[in-house]
Amino acid sequence: MAKSDFTDEDDALLAELGVEVEIKVTSSYTPREERIIAGFEEIERFIEANGRLPQHGEGNDVFERLYAVRLDQIRASTECKSLLENKDKHGLLTNTPNITNADLDALDDDALLAELGISEPTSDDIRQLKHVKSRAERKAAEDVAQRLFCEDFESFKPLFDQVQDEIKAGVRKTMRFKEDASINPGEFFILNGQLAYVAESGEPIKAPNGEADARMRVIYDNQTESNILRRSFQRALYKDEAGRRVSDPNAGPLFDSIVTDDDFGSGIIYVLRSKSDHPEISSRVSILHKIGVTGGNIGTRIANAKLDPTFLMADVEVVATYDLYNINRIKLENLIHRFLHSARLDIHIKDRFGNPIYPREWFLVPLFIIDEMVEKIKNGTLTNYEYNVTKAKLELYS
């Protein structure tokens, strides 16, 4: 029940009956003031997501350029500054604007688009429609409307982190968006320097030219999202000279269950256990393993282990090996080490010359977990899991 619907006597009676009275809060701002505040909050979210002010310039995203123009106009307006001074947590209003004599009415979309060089025709020709936005205006306005702050970005952040790591490790490649113009849910792209993830695709619709299209939910690594048409997204990738497609890491099976005459041996995954008497090592020897991939003879590889800081300056024993066929050893080793990064041994030892060494291939992980990990590599599902070092368990990404 709303508070305004009752008198004081009614309130007392309702209180006696145990009925809670809701206090209805009404806004003290005019619609225009609320729009100014909302626009200012969008600028603040951009700054919090990117760690910098929005910038002018044709090379920047139209969304960012609109924010830059809007911020300049807010700074140049006395009325805006008075309205927002108690909400300015980043000190944005204290800087000098890049433009002058802007008034409050310049904050509408048409004026912002004009600042970007997208203006309405001024011809008095009767055949020229007035007050009808051009295609360029509509396109820019659509792009702006589509980019919003992504409220559930934290659920997508692990995906972005994983893909960035896989690109660095060479597990994924980036390819020019040319021949293959397909765009599907679950795929990653690079647009205007931002990593973009196609999270969802809606029901097919027919474009004006008769071809199929669909609305997609696209998440960007700057914590924004858009509800963009697939064909619009394709055009943007074509137009962006640096537009890229990010390859799928699961291009095929890493292992063959049956070895044929046409297969060639690519090497082995090896698992080693240290014989070191170092207290930090010997106390955890049952779960401490070195995991690597080699194309050579493992016996030769470990022959001089006690002289090699990679092997903790101690002899080692081989506790497990897994044969590989038709596999890129470097990519596989990077994948394994990245997957187990949370269990990496944090230790430094000294080499024969007293120099500190920080080994990177030793992990606190039981052998049964390594067996399970290799099985998921074989069936191509490892990227769906993460290793919970506390529980010593492989878990599906939540």
Q: Which of 63-67, 314-318, 381-385 comes out lowest in average pLDDT?
A: 63-67
Q: Do residues 272 and 321 lie in contact, with contact meaning Cβ atoms separated by under 8 Å?
A: no
d(CA 104, CA 78): 9
**Which phi and psi (to 5°) does residue 308 adopt?**
-115, 120
Locus of tokens 């029940």 = 1
The region of weakest confidence among 236-240, 253-257, 274-278, 307-311 is: 253-257
Alpha-carbon torsion (9, 14, 18, 19), positive or negative: negative
Residue 290 pLDDT class (50, 70, 90 cuts):
very high
Per-residue pLDDT reduced to its tens digit, 170-229? 777 888 887 567 888 889 999 988 999 999 988 888 777 677 888 899 999 988 898 888
- Whether 162 shows a pLDDT value over 50: the answer reads yes
Strands of 188-191's sheet in order across = 148-149, 224-229, 215-220, 194-201, 188-191, 244-246, 174-176
Could you say which DSSP state residue 21 is in? P
Please report the pLDDT score of residue 2 as a whole number: 47
Residue 348 · residue 312 · CB < 8 Å: no
CA-to-CA distance for 361 and 181, rounded, in angstroms? 39
Is residue 59's pLDDT more than 90? Answer: no
**Contact assessment for residue 295 and residue 266, using Cβ atoms and an 8 Å cutoff:** yes
Question: pLDDT tens-digit profile of 356-378?
Answer: 778 888 999 999 999 999 888 88
Global model pTM greater than 0.75: no
More confident residue, 338 or 254: 338
Lowest mean pLDDT among 132-141, 244-253, 272-281: 132-141
And the tokens for 146?
């589509």
- Alpha-carbon dihedral sign for residues 332, 335, 339, 341: positive
Phi/psi at 264 (5° precision):
-125, 140
Query: Where exactly are the structural domains of the chain?
Result: 1-120+134-146, 147-246, 265-396
Residue 14: pLDDT over 80:
no
Least confident of 116-130, 184-198, 272-286: 116-130
Q: Of the candidates 251, 252, 250, 259, which has an alpha carbon nearest to the alpha carbon of residue 324?
A: 259
Residue 175 per-residue DSSP state: E
Three-state secondary structure call for residue 11: helix
In this prediction, residues 263-268 reach a mean pLDDT of 60
CA distance 35 to 73: 14
Q: Rounded mean pLDDT of 104-119? A: 48
Measured CA to CA, the distance from residue 36 to residue 85 in angstroms comes to 12
Portion of the chain with pLDDT greater than 70, in percent: 73
Confidence (pLDDT) at 139: 52
Task: Give the pLDDT confidence score for residue 114 in this predicted structure.
Answer: 52
pLDDT over threshold 50, residue 104: no
Alpha helices (H) along the chain: 8-16, 31-50, 62-76, 78-84, 109-115, 135-146, 157-169, 230-239, 279-282, 298-301, 329-339, 367-378
